[in-house]
């Protein structure tokens, strides 16, 4: 058999090395379960769209996706008369385009505002680099309204983020909240030309990394006067408690010309912060950070980024925002939405590499029933079923290896408890529980086994 396949390279293709060992996969499943529980507690409902869409759907937002889209074709192209070239297909590269298509496909069957979560795999044919995957799982929520959508949905997002990251216990984090209208409004009030705003945003986004002087220089090169760039820097460095920041912003607004957009941004930010507060989010979990310049292209209001304190180099671990023109595309309606996204595949790899999270044991089993005497196998099977009926995950050992090897296998699998039943125990209708971590041994009547195991788990 080996000879048949010995020349086959069975390694994963580059960029698809997302495969996890069992204990890591169980950790991912635990994170998925936790995220899902929080999403569902706010009434978000699951959907899943296929990995494959028509190319024209994937390309509907202009050509921005073209350089990352994978197209798929049957390896052996038969003459399939039912398919024309307009049936070209590709793999989805995000969940937003598919959400827009899903809404259009099922418009009359959905209830709005439509609050959905989605945890599908997405595919990006990018140049492979460390930490960048060509397939990965994204955990997204979005609420989408028809025509309008309350800002209180924006306020729920930080509450959801805070609850998830508290539950997975990865240390202190900070949710940075801003509003696109505040930043854009300030540029506008300062007289920056609309077509320059985009490049200005990109420049100020580098402030953290390159420092004030380089930002000023870059702004000057774009044609921003020194006076204006001073005001921009001053603005970006506004800090303090959320109330202090809101106060300083309001004061700035009073000094600006054409401050409509700026003021609307502040009003929105204020309303969102008020909601976040009513939702009981701890005040050391969030702040206003005006330098967030994420995805200006489609975000139109509230924006979020989340930083793991002490691990700022990981980048934002959960981001999102409010958009107006993103998901109504195919339905041909105005459908404002607000959403957040966790890039789970990448995040989990980072958290494992940084030692912030550890893999779980490599099996869900908590108990191994050992095989001492093959003629007692029916007892071992019955005892295993007894425990399973009480919700306990059990591996029954079927090999006839020496007991030491059986304990070793349990240990390697991370199973904490072993059950030993030899002829003596069988006669007495008892069993011995061995706690692998401590070596402790407990003899119990079979009648009390379930109760005793439940205490030990």
Query: Which residues, 110 to 139, sit near its own copies by CB under 8 A?
Result: 110-111, 113, 115-116, 121, 123, 125, 127-128, 134-135
Among 18, 207, 233, 354, binds its own copies (CB under 8 A): 18
Min. distance of Cβ 393 from its own copies in angstroms? 5
Q: Which residues are annotated as a binding site for L-histidine?
A: 94-96, 124, 138, 142, 294, 298-299
Cβ distance to its own copies smaller for residue 121 or 233 = 121
Q: State the DSSP H helix or E strand holding residue 210, giving kind and residue range, or none if neither.
A: helix 207-210
Q: Segment 156-215, which members bind its own copies (CB under 8 A)?
A: 156, 159
Min. distance of Cβ 245 from its own copies in angstroms? 21
Cβ distance to its own copies smaller for residue 55 or 318 = 55
Q: Record the tokens describing residue 261, joined without a space.
A: 């957009």
Q: Segment 280-339, which members bind its own copies (CB under 8 A)?
A: 280, 325, 328-330, 332-334
Min. distance of Cβ 407 from its own copies in angstroms? 13
Among 403, 413, 442, 444, binds its own copies (CB under 8 A): 413
Annotate 361-416 with three-state secondary structure.
CCCCCCEEECCCCHHHHHHHHHHHHHHHHCCCCEEECCCCCCHHHHHHHHHHHCCC
Min. distance of Cβ 372 from its own copies in angstroms? 15
Q: Which residues of 144-168 are buried (b: 16+ CB within 10 A; e: fewer)?
A: bbbeebebbbbbbbbbbbbbbbeeb
Cα dihedral 8, 134, 20, 312 sign: positive
Q: Which residues of 255-281 are buried (b: 16+ CB within 10 A; e: fewer)?
A: ebeebebbbebbbbbbbbbebbeebeb
Q: Segment 373-412, which members bind its own copies (CB under 8 A)?
A: 377-378, 381-382, 384-385, 388, 391-396, 398-399, 409, 412
Among 239, 241, 278, 429, binds its own copies (CB under 8 A): 278
> What does the radius of gyration of the chain's CA atoms come to, in whole angstroms?
28
Min. distance of Cβ 109 from its own copies in angstroms? 5
Cβ distance to its own copies smaller for residue 128 or 428 = 128
Cα dihedral 311, 312, 315, 320 sign: positive
The residue count of the chain comes to: 457
Q: Segment 330-349, which members bind its own copies (CB under 8 A)?
A: 330, 332-334
């Amino acid at each position: 058999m080996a000879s048949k396949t010995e020349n086959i390279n069975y390694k994963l293709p580059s960029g698809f090395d997302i495969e996890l060992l069992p204990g890591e996969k169980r950790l991912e499943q635990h994170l998925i379960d936790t995220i899902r529980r929080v999403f569902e507690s706010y009434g978000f409902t699951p959907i899943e769209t296929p990995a494959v869409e028509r190319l024209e759907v994937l390309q509907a937002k202009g050509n921005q996706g073209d350089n990352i889209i994978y197209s798929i074709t049957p390896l052996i192209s038969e003459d399939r008369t039912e398919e024309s070239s307009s049936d070209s297909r590709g793999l989805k590269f995000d969940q937003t385009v598919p959400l827009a298509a899903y809404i259009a496909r099922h418009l009359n069957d959905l209830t709005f505002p439509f609050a959905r979560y989605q945890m599908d795999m997405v595919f990006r044919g990018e140049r492979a680099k460390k930490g960048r995957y060509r397939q990965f799982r994204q955990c997204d929520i979005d609420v989408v309204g028809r025509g309008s959508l309350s800002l209180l949905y924006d306020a729920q997002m930080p509450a959801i983020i805070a609850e998830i990251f508290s539950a997975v216990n990865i240390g202190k984090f900070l949710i940075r909240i801003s509003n696109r209208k505040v930043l854009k409004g300030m540029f506008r009030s300062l007289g920056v030309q609309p077509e320059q705003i985009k490049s200005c945003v990109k420049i100020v986004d580098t402030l953290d990394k390159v420092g004030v002087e380089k930002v000023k220089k870059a702004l000057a090169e774009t044609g921003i006067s020194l006076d204006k760039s001073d005001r921009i820097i001053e603005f970006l460095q506004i800090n303090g408690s959320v109330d202090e920041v809101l106060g300083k912003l309001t004061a700035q607004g009073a000094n600006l010309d054409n401050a409509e957009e700026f003021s609307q941004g502040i009003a929105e930010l204020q309303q969102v912060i008020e909601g976040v507060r009513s939702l009981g989010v701890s005040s050391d979990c969030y702040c206003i950070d005006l330098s967030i310049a994420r995805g200006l292209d489609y975000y139109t209001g509230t924006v979020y980024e989340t930083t793991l304190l002490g691990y700022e180099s990981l980048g934002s671990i959960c981001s999102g925002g409010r958009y107006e023109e993103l998901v109504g595309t195919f339905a041909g309606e105005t459908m404002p939405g607000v959403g957040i996204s966790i890039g789970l595949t990448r995040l989990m790899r980072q958290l494992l590499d940084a030692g912030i999270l550890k893999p779980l044991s490599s099996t869900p089993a908590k108990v191994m029933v050992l095989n001492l005497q093959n003629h007692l196998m029916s007892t071992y099977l019955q005892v295993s079923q007894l425990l399973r009926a009480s919700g306990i995950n059990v591996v029954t050992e079927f090999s006839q290896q020496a007991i030491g090897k059986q304990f070793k296998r349990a240990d390697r699998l991370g199973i904490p408890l072993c059950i030993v039943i030899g002829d003596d125990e069988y006669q007495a209708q008892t069993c011995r529980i061995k706690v692998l971590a401590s070596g402790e041994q407990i003899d119990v009547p079979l009648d009390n086994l379930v109760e005793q195991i439940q205490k030990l788990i």
